[in-house]
Structure 1
């Protein structure tokens, strides 16, 4: 019971850290890009990952966590895939309208459900699917303003969806199958993610902004916001791996849409972004969907725990000997010790 309570507290802490850090970095980056005129999002992400790796390396050297070796081919492909997915998401935003980009992000949840159902044989109840539908509907109402389609943008969006879903599913699968923590996996994969974005980032940013990141004039305030963004990114990257490892890729995407609603709210209250009745209705519907999803997941988790406990008790009862020493008319110490050992093995 104590272990289960500790696990639940760990999940709640991971969710809170993910929401707080993600909303903070969105506000920081919005100020950096919109107000200070630094538009190089992909290159900035590569810096985020390099700072994350350096921070984790220092923590590992100070024995805050123990590094665990992972097959080089596995971690290299995983890191490169995650780096590519970030690049495709940024390109999708650059070649599509904001509305179509939001549709791309919404499509990640149903596609993740489809992939896990087909390839991992994971079952999702009708209640889970309904709550996800309500959530997606609400976020769509709140955030989608227009849908301007073009061939290149559609292809890039499709590639972003596929690579993002596979990357998040692998994040969960690798942690559980190889028995590595979120910190250990992030430490091993961050250099490869940073490398692919460090090479491709300036090219991607130049194609989107028509500006060269190396020719940009960095003022002290821009440098200060870049450093702040990189520091917050350490928490964002760590909490992402932590949440996916402790829950599931679908839950992480649900959490992502909660962040979207919070960012819309913070944008209105702090940055005075335009806000309409449609935004309010959409956010309320999305919150309802998130509440339903959380409730259904909690109920199904309790039901599963109850079933597992019942099965464990039945198994323990079935393995107890039907006859003991007294029923045979003699006292055998060795039989009593064996019986005690058998019972202790189920504790």
Structure 2
């Protein structure tokens, strides 16, 4: 009997890594599904379905994030609740929320005019804008090799733009604006919430940013998207599925943030970067298969060059740390 104990312990030791791997694979799969799902559903609602209210759609997303963030942190305790310690800190969070709103709204507007494949190609240039804002706002200098890797990042998008059959100038400007705002939020977050007493993990930051975003977006949607509530009710009378689409889409927007937090927590930064690049490529393939938007060899070549540039940029930053 005693001789069997080591064997039993070895057996348990073999099972745990498998369970850990299965858990990580499940997290990554959930992250991929929620990210790609919300992107495709946004495109479907705003472009194919004809729900032309991107600000109201973003307001629904933020309202869901407000409620679900509170439930996840307070009741399910997925992370310790961090409190806002001062009015100054709240003001910083509000500033980040304003930029975050601009990023999401601009991204949703761009999906009305651009295919998901091109949207993802432009979105891949986030490292370029992050490097620019970091240099301008913090005078942070990277090694020349790191800056050199940004050349293919930008060049790829230029090539993809020239080869995009569905290119739309306003949609392109909105997409660039969304990408730049996303990068600006990242840099500002590092500046504004840099002290140990003010640092918040991504789920707590979302908990406080989402209600502020609703307060900012609600008057904007009522002014800029006239009678949007009445029109949505009218759409629901004609096809009640719109209500289910909005509810599911809003919950999915929260799970994008939740799964991103969990994947970040359970994997390394390098793994996260590789998975993120692969996610973007998969989103392009799935969107083309679903929406059948035309793609060209030139466009795919440009996107590939951009992704390669992002990979080189990540590798250069890692080596120069």
Instruction: Give the TM-score of the pair, scaled to structure 1.
Output: 0.64
Q: Is 1:42–2:60 an aligned residue pair?
A: no
TM-align CA RMSD:
4.3
1:165–1:255 CA distance, 2 compared to 1 (3 A): farther
In structure 1, C-alpha distance between the alignment counterparts of 2:297 and 2:176, rounded to whole Å: 31
Deviation by residue 1:169-228 (Cα, 9 ceiling, x = unmatched): 223445543232111111111100122112212433459x9x944543352322222222
Written as runs of structure 1 = structure 2, the 5 A alignment for 1:210-289 is: 212-213=231-232, 215-217=234-236, 219-238=239-258, 261-289=281-309
Written as runs of structure 1 = structure 2, the 5 A alignment for 1:52-91 is: 52-64=65-77, 65-70=79-84, 71-88=89-106
1:206–1:127 CA distance, 2 compared to 1 (3 A): farther
What 5-or-longer segments of structure 2 have no aligned partner? 1-20
In structure 2, C-alpha distance between the alignment counterparts of 1:262 and 1:206, rounded to whole Å: 36
Aligned length: 283
SS at match of 2:291: coil
1:270–1:61 CA distance, 2 compared to 1 (3 A): same
Deviation by residue 1:114-152 (Cα, 9 ceiling, x = unmatched): 2211322322222222222212322342355387768xx
1:216–1:202 CA distance, 2 compared to 1 (3 A): farther
CA contact (8 A) 1:139 1:257 kept: no
1:142–1:161 CA distance, 2 compared to 1 (3 A): closer
Cα deviation for residue 247 of structure 1 reads: 10
Written as runs of structure 1 = structure 2, the 5 A alignment for 1:185-196 is: 185-196=205-216
Match of residue 317 from structure 1: none
In structure 2, C-alpha distance between the alignment counterparts of 1:161 and 1:129, rounded to whole Å: 18
What 5-or-longer segments of structure 1 have no aligned partner? 1-8, 305-347
CA contact (8 A) 1:175 1:181 kept: no
Instruction: Give the TM-score of the pair, scaled to structure 2.
Output: 0.68
Cα deviation for residue 55 of structure 1 reads: 0.8
In structure 2, C-alpha distance between the alignment counterparts of 1:235 and 1:133, rounded to whole Å: 34
1:264–1:141 CA distance, 2 compared to 1 (3 A): farther
Cα deviation for residue 260 of structure 1 reads: 5.1
CA contact (8 A) 1:175 1:182 kept: no
Deviation by residue 1:51-101 (Cα, 9 ceiling, x = unmatched): 11111111222151332222332223332332244445556777x888998
| Further displaced range: 162-171 or 280-289 | 162-171
SS at match of 1:217: helix
CA contact (8 A) 1:102 1:143 kept: no
Cα deviation for residue 239 of structure 1 reads: 5.6
SS at match of 2:140: coil
1:284–1:72 CA distance, 2 compared to 1 (3 A): closer
